[in-house]
Every structure is written in structure tokens, then in C-alpha cells.
Amino acid sequence: MDDYFAILTDAERRMFLAIAESAHQLGYRAKRDKTRSVSYTFTHRKIKKTLLRFAFNRDKPILKIRFCATQQYSIFFHEAIRRTIEEYNFKYTGCYGCGKCDGTEGYWYEYPDGSKYFRCGTELIEIDDILHLPLEELLTMFRNQHNSYLADPQVS
């Protein structure tokens, strides 16, 4: 992952290193994605789903993470859900009907006008404000998601 870390500022590198180290302690390994830009997906031998990815978007480092096993989270992550929904112009919202869950594994965002949008839990949430990321909360949510999937025989 040296090629990814070499592009980051010192502050970004510290944040991404802490996340990578935590993932490694849980048994994840980083695998370079087969894309033009430098990105890595973290894989676990017992979990088929992707929970964590380091990537770039418009030359800016981003973190993509799944945390739908956590029901309560800070406004930081709530707003990350909104930004992810809006970035794709509401295209990837709603339950996909894949049968992997009962339509409840995902994220809700409610706008001030009362309109609600559901983002399927099979999709990762993009975090682009890395320097203001509440690291301990993210690591706790990552562990919760990891443990949730380990306990689910359909996932592991």
C-alpha cells in the first residue's frame, strides 16, 4: 500500500494507517484494485462482502465503508450518507430486492422537507472529509459490521 500512502499528506496518512492497522488486526488484508487509479479493497477470508476500500475521487483520498450494522451514529456519518446519495443523483436508493435481507439492511436519510431515502447496505458509503473523521467511532462501527457478518452464516 506504499503507493497509496505516498500520495497522501502526513495527516491523511496517519488517519488511513490507523484504519488499515485496525482492519489488519481483525484479519483483513489489503488487495490492490485493478483500476487505473490507486485503490485498495480490504478482504477477509471468512467474509464475502466488502466492508472497506481506500480510493481516490477527483484526486482526493476517500474511504468507502459499510456500517449498516450500527443503527446510531454521529451527524458526520449521517451527512456522509446524504452526500453519497446525492453524488449519484438519488440513482442508487431503495431496496434492490436481492433477497439477501428483508429490505432493512441499509441506511436512511431524511431531509428537512420530510422526504426519506434508503441506501441499500450492499453499497459502501463514501467518506471524503478524512481530516475531520471521528476515527474511534469509525473503528467501532467497522468492528460492529465485522462482528455482525461473522455471526451471519450466509455471509461468512
Domain-wise residue ranges, the chain: 2-151
pTM of the model: 0.88
Q: Mean pLDDT, 10 residues at a time, over the chain (156 residues)? A: 94 96 97 93 93 93 94 94 87 71 80 90 90 96 94 70
Q: For 123-154, give one letter per residue: b (16+ CB within 10 A) or e.
A: bbbbbbebeebeeeebbebbbebbebbeeeee
What whole-number distance in Å separates Cα of residue 150 and Cα of residue 47?
Answer: 7
Cross-strand pairs, 30:
42
